[in-house]
Chain A
């Protein structure tokens, strides 16, 4: 080791007198090792030095000082070593690397608690400055957390931070914070806060957020403390497609089967009719499919559409589609991002067995007013946002509506002119950051659809909801999130096909939910979450009433239902071994069917039908008719094979207490949600998955392979000819079976440079078995059959190529195996007519599905200070014009049974849409 010997002679006749802040030395030394000097000073003068011995053991000093300040001494001693120091009262810190920047960015309340001392460049020696300039991190990016007063060696410090948008002041949700030295990371919560537990020391952290410039900081952690990081908009990366796993990392995070996509990323994905649509984007992800173009909802890993829970800012949404599903009932302008959990579902979620789809809306600009919107051939949409109280309270509101009536009136068909179709959705969000410990959000949502077909059918439905949530920090490491929400879904239909039989039907469900979620961060790799939630369901399946004076329809009351679902959960995520992280979670859910209700008791050992019941039991208002409950374990592990690879595994159990009555393949606008009850048990799913994850960081490519197997008990199926608007109780029409799904999903994502996007391939199978005791309780003779969503091969390719800052091209390529279908396999004659004999259920498939979409995005002038920005989007949906079968049907024509297929997008659909932004605002 190189031995550095430093000789100094200082005779500093200072006028500065000894004070509390400055310690003055009067000594002389010769050939003394610096470490010995330190020990002597510690012993004699009561100073404390903090340092790494290996830094100092090669330094020897020769000096004589009189009345010289300690800082001048140290400066002289350490001048040539590259080491730096910091003095705080009697504590002296010696450190390597960049100087400590003690001036924290604005985060006032924390500054009060933790006064910091600033260093500025002018105080530094020239060679220090030069040294620093050669470092990758600039001095502005070096942050000290806490102070020496509270420093305790070996004790973890809670580092609490907040990340916000430098321009708008908006908190950034889901920004990732990554400690390079330890490989640990976290993500900011809904209010932009994050928390890490770190041993005192120096770290390099990188902070990243979709659409924002990535920032790197040096962090010197001394004790508990806080910081604010402001990120700038990434003005250049406009065409970026980002799929970000929560807790940043494909490799390091605990989550599996999880995807998070920002609206900004969606902008570049080609869409039908120029509408950004989060559900359509979700369908491009591995393991997510839908049954056909324009069908509402989607199917996750072989599950039916009602096995997915949709939350928009904690409001549950029971119908997510406009116009049957051609559009999604969430305006793109207001959405910040969405998260889809397919497995390893966090313990705080429950109630649906296939997936949780969580939509976050934008918080609104706290500093400036801003508007954006757009026009496509079908809709116009606009949103505005701005401060209510500057820097504290912001609002954001959106509205979208179709001008389809204008289209209809152009049709020269009388029936179409008498028909109409319209929809709208609107939101209002208010975000109040009362102080750094309290944040309140209020959100209101409504979507509505109406279509009527001439003199035949009218459909109308709407979702309405509101939520209030309060996020409170009890301490640096412990926070709570309390919310109440209420949502209503209702529909009404009129069937006027026959005047004597015409009827009207109104339905509603109210979902009222309260929840409290707590997070305690013990250290950077130890987090505990726990909480409680409670849902009250109040639904009325409605009455079938005669419509019009000529109708003789028998009025039927389908009945009201009430139920309450409560759940408690706790989950603990911790590092067990240096590379092994575990997550153990347990959720306990309890559901009670409440009266008033009348329930039939069926004869034991007989099928449940209208002939086999002896008595009816009545339960009074509020009385519990039936309960179901159980534990829902959630476990996951992540084992790092190296810095770039990991293996993960997880096990989940989920219970679902509500389902959709639907015996058609796609969800219809008059499908009723129904609670589990005395006779109908809740579906329960167990899912096991394993995965391998690897990052090619240099290339900006992540890959993952996930395999899963899922078992669902009590999956709901229906007897042939089930009729949900008849007076017969549903238990006589519902069958419950077993569903078995398995699959393997490959995903390759590229998130950097000009070409971004992803390629996924999924092989999956899903079968259903309904094998009751009696013949009428069997489907397909009690043999397993492919579920409606069994599409073994699925390939999705989403790409975006940026030609320049203003121009980009993107494309989708979709291939899936055709959906299963039951087809006629033979004909038989009866009374000289032919009838069809069908195959086993879902034995055949409609033709494979293939589609290419292309789009071109042209941004207007990108001048930062420009008031209005606009961009054009040209989309070509189904560019190859392939006739993808939507459905098949058979006709008997002149004694021959002929098959037909219906394709609904039988040629390329070209749309041009225009979008604008007012206000110099560029988040998103």
Chain B
């Protein structure tokens, strides 16, 4: 089994240990000097199929999306859509908005902004092809609160298993809102960064011959921009505070061990204000994934949903329907010279028809400027789009 010794510092971040649990581990590691984390497999035999309804109404989004699926086993995790449902959002004035299924299990509709009114209540109404009827309680559409400040600090961390130091950038957000607005916040994060391959493509080799690349295309897949949603639940509230203001709430940490910070990095923070019910639902989900078997954690709870089955009040329904509005802030992180950003080194070697000529094709070739040798290597070193990025510069890129 893959055994790993752990480093206390890394636990803070990697496993989101905090407070007592972290202090406990700190004591263990200080006094007894050993602790160990290793994979754990439970033999779960239960087969569950519980309907999961994820839906939100976000004022400011072009398209509203409701996703209906069922739970999946932990062993073979996959998205199991529920197709062919009747999906409607109804407001308190009885205006009804019917959603269409574009992708399996994903129902969407562009609702006119004028129909999404602050403080108005909305609810979800679903009928599955098998006749299951599900409804949500009325949810009020929260007013948006502008993002106050998103900022970052260069911080050191320790890697979980190696215990090595690493540097990187920790993002923070501050809340500054009127007391009259919601005190529950959630953030979705999306990162975009620019990256390049090691150099241009001189030729490509297809079947048996080297084909020159048209000069305009030599640099075509050299530079890319990639945008990815960051996983994780980022939540905070100000209910324990005298004013609706909170500072230095940690968001994402970006390590200099990847090349994300090499050229330019950008984080888009989308802030949602929520009702207490929706917030608690997400917060309980967050707690539940932390350490269910811990001695200093609470028992995982069943997050209280606002969805229920009309036919069978005992049926469990997962998910939450919430209504909110969004505000955004984007922050750019230019190359930080003091940071020793990992420079992805592409190991190239001289092209050998016998060893390299079997494909897969095309085989990219770069002519070494000094020696004139034909160099080949991992295709990622030649085509930036292979990592999932796009060569089109995003509109917001500065």
A contact set with B: CB distance below 8 Å = 272-273, 291-292, 294-295, 323-324, 326, 378, 404, 407-408, 411, 413, 415-416, 419, 421, 451, 453, 456-457, 459, 495, 497-501, 503, 544, 550, 552-554, 663-666, 668-670, 720-722, 819, 821-839, 841-842, 844, 846-847, 883, 885-892, 895-907, 909
Q: Which residues of A contact B15 (CB under 8 A)?
A: 889, 891, 900
Question: What 1/0 flags go to B136-175 for Cβ under 8 Å of A?
Answer: 0000000000000000000000100000000000000000
Check if B296 sits within 8 Å of A500, measured CB to CB.
Answer: no
Question: What are 22 sample pairs from A and B whose C-beta atoms fall under 8 A apart?
Answer: A324-B24, A378-B31, A404-B30, A457-B22, A499-B247, A554-B240, A663-B298, A663-B299, A664-B298, A668-B296, A721-B280, A819-B293, A822-B300, A826-B46, A836-B285, A838-B300, A844-B44, A885-B40, A897-B77, A902-B36, A905-B34, A906-B36
B290 sits at the interface (CB 8 A)? yes
B292 near A838 with CB under 8 A, answer yes
Quick one: closest A residue to B71, CB to CB? A826
Once the chains bind, are B28 and A899 in contact (CB under 8 Å)? no
Q: Is B41 an interface residue (CB 8 A)?
A: yes
Stretch touching chain A among B47-55, B95-103, B211-219: B47-55
Counting CB contacts under 8 A, is B353 at the interface? no
Q: How far is the CB of A775 from chain B (nearest CB, A)?
A: 9
B115 CB, min distance to chain A CBs, angstroms:
23
Q: What 0/1 readout, one digit per residue, does chain B (17-46) give for beta carbons within 8 Å of chain A?
A: 011101111111011101111111110101
Q: Do the beta carbons of B27 and A831 come within 8 Å of each other?
A: no
Residue picked from B77, B233, B284, most chain A C-beta under 10 Å = B77
Tell me which residues across on chain A come within 8 A of B41, comparing CB atoms: 899
Q: Out of A408, A501, A838, A902, name the residue touching B35 (CB < 8 Å).
A: A902
- Give the 9 A-B residue pairs with the shortest CB-CB distance, closest first: A720-B301, A906-B36, A666-B295, A889-B291, A901-B40, A888-B293, A826-B71, A899-B40, A552-B241
Q: Which residue of B lies closest to A899 (CB)?
A: B40
Answer whether A839 and B246 are a contact pair too, CB < 8 Å, given A411-B30, A823-B293, A909-B32. no
Q: In the docked arrangement, what's the CA distance between A459 and B26, Å?
A: 13
Is B378 an interface position by the 8 A CB rule? no
Residues of chain B within 8 A of A421, CB atoms compared: 26-27, 30-31
Give chain B interface residues in 53-67, CB to chain A under 8 Å: 54, 67
Tell me whether B74 and A897 are in contact (CB under 8 A).
yes
Binary contact track B243-269/A, C-beta < 8 Å → 1, others 0: 101111100000000000000000000
CA distance A891 to B3 in the complex (A): 16
| Residue numbers in B under 8 Å from A889 (CB-CB) | 15, 290-294
Inter-subunit contact A904/B42 (CB<8 Å)? no
Contact A841 B299 (CB under 8 A): yes
- Per the bound structure, the CA–CA distance linking A836 and B300 in Å amounts to 10
Whether B77 and A895, one on each chain, are in contact in the complex, defined by CB atoms closer than 8 angstroms, is yes
Which residue on chain B has the smallest CB distance to residue A419?
B26
Distance (Å) between the CB of A105 and the closest chain B CB? 50
Q: How far is the CA of A416 from the CA of B27 in the complex (A)?
A: 10
CA distance A178 to B18 in the complex (A): 57
Closest partner residue, chain B, to A883 (CB atom): B36
Alpha-carbon distance A904/B5, docked complex (angstroms): 10
| Chain A residues whose CB sits within 8 angstroms of the CB of B294 once the complex forms | 664-665, 887, 889
Cβ of A824: which chain B residues have Cβ within 8 Å of it?
Answer: 44, 74, 288, 292, 300
A residues in contact with B34, CB < 8 Å = 904-907, 909
Number of A-B contacts (CB under 8 A): 264
CA distance A905 to B27 in the complex (A): 12
B210 to chain A, nearest CB (A): 37
B interface residues (Cβ-Cβ under 8 A, vs A):
3, 5-6, 8-9, 15, 18-20, 22-28, 30-32, 34-42, 44, 46, 48, 50, 52, 54, 67, 69-74, 77, 79, 158, 188, 229, 231-233, 238, 240-243, 245-249, 280, 284-285, 287-302, 304, 318-319
Smallest Cβ distance from A7 to chain B, in angstroms?
87
The answer, among B8, B293, B299, for a CB contact under 8 Å with A846, is B293
Contact A826 B31 (CB under 8 A): no
- Cβ A453 vs Cβ B52 within 8 A: no
Inter-chain CA distance A895–B231, complex, in Å, is 9
Residue in contact with A844 in the complex, picked from B32, B42, B291, CB distance below 8 Å: B42
Asked, given contacts A495-B19, A890-B292, whether A900 binds B39 with beta carbons under 8 Å apart, the answer is: yes
Which chain A residues lie closer than 8 Å to B19 at the CB level? 456-457, 495, 497
| Cross-interface CB contact of B242 among A497, A552, A909, cutoff 8 Å | A552
Q: Which residue of A lies closest to B28 (CB)?
A: A904
Whole-angstrom distance between the Cβ of B193 and the nearest chain A Cβ: 18
**Which one of A821, A898, A900 has the highest number of Cβ atoms from chain B below 10 Å of its Cβ?**
A900
Q: Is the CB of A664 within 8 A of B296?
A: yes
Which residues of chain A are within 8 angstroms of B48 by Cβ–Cβ distance? 825-826, 837
When chains A and B are docked, how far (Å) is the Cα of A847 from the Cα of B23? 24
Q: How far is the CA of A877 from the CA of B383 in the complex (A)?
A: 56
A410's nearest neighbour on chain B, judged by CB, is B30
Which residue of chain A is the closest to B291 with respect to CB atoms? A889
Q: Say whether, besides A457-B19, A500-B246, A824-B74, A721 and B30 are in contact (CB < 8 Å).
A: no
Complex CA–CA separation, A531 to B177 (angstroms): 63
Contact A666 B247 (CB under 8 A): no
Q: Are B36 and A823 in touch, CB under 8 angstroms?
A: no
* Complex-state Cα separation, A326 to B28, whole angstroms: 9
Instruction: Establish whether residues A826 and B74, one from each chain, have CB atoms under 8 Å apart when the complex forms.
Output: yes
Q: CA–CA, A106 to B173, complex, Å?
A: 81
Given contacts A825-B44, A828-B72, are A323 and B31 in contact (CB under 8 A)?
yes
Cα–Cα, bound, A503→B246 (Å): 13
Report how far A882 CA is from B50 CA in the complex, Å. 38
The residue that A883 contacts in the complex, of B38, B42, B238, B290, with Cβ under 8 A, is B38
* A552→B238 CA distance, assembly (Å): 9
Q: Given A273-B31, A500-B247, are A721 and B77 neighbors across the interface (CB < 8 Å)? A: no
Out of A324, A404, A419, A830, which one reaches B67, CB within 8 Å? A830
In the docked arrangement, what's the CA distance between A473 and B9, Å?
62
How far in angstroms is the closest Cβ of chain A from B136? Answer: 14
Find out whether the CB atom of A828 lies under 8 angstroms from the CB atom of B291.
no
**A residues near B249, Cβ cutoff 8 Å:** 498
The answer, among A295, A721, A899, for a CB contact under 8 Å with B42, is A899
Question: What residue in chain B is nearest A908 (Cβ atoms)?
Answer: B34
If A326-B31, A553-B242 touch, whether A499 touches B248 (CB-CB below 8 Å) is yes
Which residue from B22, B79, B241 sits with its C-beta under 8 Å from A829? B79
Contact partner, A823, options B32, B37, B292, Cβ 8 Å: B292
**Distance of A291 Cα from B299 Cα, bound (Å):** 14
Q: How far is the CA of A141 from the CA of B243 in the complex (A)?
A: 83
Q: Give the CA-CA distance A607 to B240 in the complex, in Å.
A: 25
Q: How far is the CA of A888 from the CA of B15 in the complex (A)?
A: 12
On chain A, the residues within 8 Å of B290 by CB distance are 889
CB pair A836 B246 closer than 8 Å? no
The answer to whether A459 touches B23 (Cβ under 8 A) is yes
Cβ of A835 and Cβ of B31 under 8 Å apart? no
B26 x A416 contact (CB < 8 A)? yes
Q: How far is it, in angstroms, between the C-alpha of A653 and the C-alpha of B332 when the chains are bound?
A: 68
Return the chain A residue nearest B46 by Cβ: A825
Measured between beta carbons, the chain B residues less than 8 angstroms from A415 are 8-9
State whether A413 and B9 are in contact (beta carbons under 8 Å apart), knowing that A823-B293, A830-B54, A887-B295 are contacts in the complex: yes
User: In the bound complex, how far is the Cα of B5 from the Cα of A451, in angstroms?
Assistant: 24
For A552, the closest partner residue in chain B by CB is B241
Q: Which of B26, B288, B295 lies in contact with A292, CB distance below 8 A? A: B295
Given A416-B8, A665-B295, A823-B293, A835 contacting B39 (CB threshold 8 A): no
Known: A498-B248, A553-B242. A821 touches B292 (CB 8 A): yes
Q: Once the chains are docked, how many angstroms separate the CA of A745 from the CA of B6?
A: 39
Residue contact B248 to A721, C-beta cutoff 8 Å: no
Q: How far is the CA of A829 from the CA of B297 in the complex (A)?
A: 24
Query: In the assembled complex, which residues on chain A have CB atoms less than 8 Å from the CB atom of B284?
Result: 720-721
Per the bound structure, the CA–CA distance linking A831 and B58 in Å amounts to 13
Q: Does A892 contact B289, Cβ atoms closer than 8 Å?
A: yes
Q: Is the CB of B39 within 8 A of A291?
A: no
Q: Which of A291, A665, A895, A909 has the most CB of B within 10 A?
A: A665
Q: How long is the Cα–Cα vector from A459 to B36 in the complex, in angstroms? A: 25
Closest B-chain residue to A886, C-beta based?
Answer: B295
The listed residue with most A CB atoms (<10 A of its CB), out of B31, B188, B248, B300, is B31
